[in-house]
Structure 1
């Protein structure tokens, strides 16, 4: 059993059903619902004896958080959100080859990477603020909810708040984003930056027409995934959750 985000009409359900055919893919809504469903399922393992795994977006999780979740069979994509799978270099090259434009592959990839970095730099303040906010939210989970009495609750709250150094967090995160942009570290950019609005622009780079109701780059990749000659695109997409690629029950 593979629990994922989204519903049966979602991109998650479509892709994971094709990428991991050894699993029964079960969409459960948002991240919290996925975890809740998994916990409930595992509590009944003595009744059904079925193994389960989980795939979620990486979002702004740290490497340490990703490893912690992996130990519990919760796997994070190696990109910020599922839409970023369509920006993976191997995926872009596969599309170029299938479009009979192998000679243009380097140029198309470079244009797409430039698009990502241009918008990442333009949205740096939004991105840095969102990452820092996620780090702050993590600290709230450390609040001592077992504190007894007013004074102890106040102390627990003050201890938690004092442990959050927002200026240092902001500088550290800002430097990280700057480094990714300056070094042109494309895998790291896809791991951190989230912007669903880039897909229509990437679609245009490949010569597809797009409108507000559809994105032809996504539709084209979906058709590739469903086709009989899907080996290259499946391999490219699987790289983002490589731990599950060859896993069977």
Structure 2
């Protein structure tokens, strides 16, 4: 096999891209600067692709170790790559003057803390990812908050706790924050405990379930043009088919599998909440642990299984779809809802929802707000 070499042709500077011109301009300014200069760059990431920006500036800074670099940027991701002191301009006054805060040490990651300090709104941590439907829903339903996705419920709880601690350590920051997590298997005492920490719990097992609620389905059908008898018929059809689907998913072996998965979480929570702090010696500790685990095995697990099965059956008997959606979780539920309600794919349904939710004064957004937690 013969090797081939790629020859690059010369081309005029006038043909360079904006990114190429920016790189050569920056390099020229850095290399020609006087010794010991302070080099100030406004938006150093401008026109440069994100895939190279961090490594590029690493190399540029190496070229002039005698110089200090001061960068002014809106790009939080780029900011997080720089090993340096960082500051956020929190307010600007016409005097002119600036309210500038140094980014403090915190258990929160640097990118998150930069975003928090740069925001003029209170902070709301939620489960999910940046590009998800639930993230867009939170942003639209809580426009007065800066919404930051943290992935899992554990990460949300930790983020709220860390920001509260940061407020205690630096009262001057005075950053209001809250969190919202999925209901999962939490009981009333766990929900109350979380609310005491500034974290609200959804009524439903997970936020995607709200798009399968009959009340929300009704608004979707209305905004896409159904009225009168046709609207009533489509609503009844949706309710019947969705109930039938969930009943099938919660029957026989599927029910056993679902209950076991849910009970796993309750067992895990129960074990984590065993408090051995008041035991005075190893025998006391063993005795208390044996007692707690014995209660779990001999009564708690059977009690939880019975309660969950009875609750599911009661909702099915009463055709209570809302009640089932408090409990039921299935990542395929939104796809099924899209198919039953509109006869379209999940991705197309999500796109429809996000477009409609952004329309001004739409009834769908108001209906969704009514089933989400109120934040103080």
TM-score range normalised by the length of the shorter chain = 0.7 to 0.9
Q: Secondary structure at the match of 1:136?
A: helix
TM-superposed deviation, 1:153: 3.5
Q: Quick check: 2:134–2:207 contact (8 Å CA) kept in 1?
A: yes
Distance 2:145 2:151 in 1: 18
When normalised by structure 1's length, the TM-score is 0.87
Choose which of 139, 143, 146 in structure 2 pairs with 1:24.
146
Number of residue pairs matched? Answer: 241
Gaps of 5+ in 2: 1-122
Matched-pair contact (CA < 8 Å) for 2:242–2:340: no
- Secondary structure at the aligned position of 2:179 is classed as strand
Query: Which aligned pairs between 1:1-80 and structure 2 lie closer than 5 A?
Result: 1-45=123-167, 46-80=171-205
**SS class of match (1:195):** coil
**What is the correspondence of 1:97-116 to structure 2 with a 5 Å cutoff?**
97-103=222-228, 104-116=230-242
Stretches (4+) displaced over 4 A:
147-150
Larger relative contact order (C-alpha < 8 A, sep ≥ 6)? Answer: 1
1:215 aligns with 2:347: yes
2:22 is aligned to none
Report deviation, 1:118: 2.6
Q: 1:142 to 1:200 in 2, by over 3 A?
A: closer
In the superposition, relative to structure 1, how do residues 108 and 129 fare at CA in structure 2: closer, same or farther (>3 Å)?
farther
Q: Residue 242 of structure 2 contacts residue 337 of structure 2 at CA under 8 Å; is this kept in 1?
A: no
| Displacement after TM superposition at 1:111 (Å) | 3.1
More helix by percentage: 1
Output the CA distance in 2 between the equivalents of 1:67 and 1:115.
35
TM-score normalised by the chain length of structure 2: 0.59
1:242 is displaced (CA, Å) by 4.1
| 1:197 positional shift | 0.8
With over 3 angstroms needed to count, the CA separation of the structure-2 counterparts of 1:151 and 1:111, relative to structure 1, is farther
Q: In 1, are the aligned partners of 2:209 and 2:333 still within 8 Å (CA)? A: no
Larger radius of gyration, structure 1 or 2? 2
Rate the CA distance shift 1:200–1:154 in 2: closer, same or farther, 3 A: same
**Structure 2 CA distance, aligned partners of 1:203 and 1:12?**
15
Relative distance call for 1:7 and 1:161 in structure 2 (3 A) is same
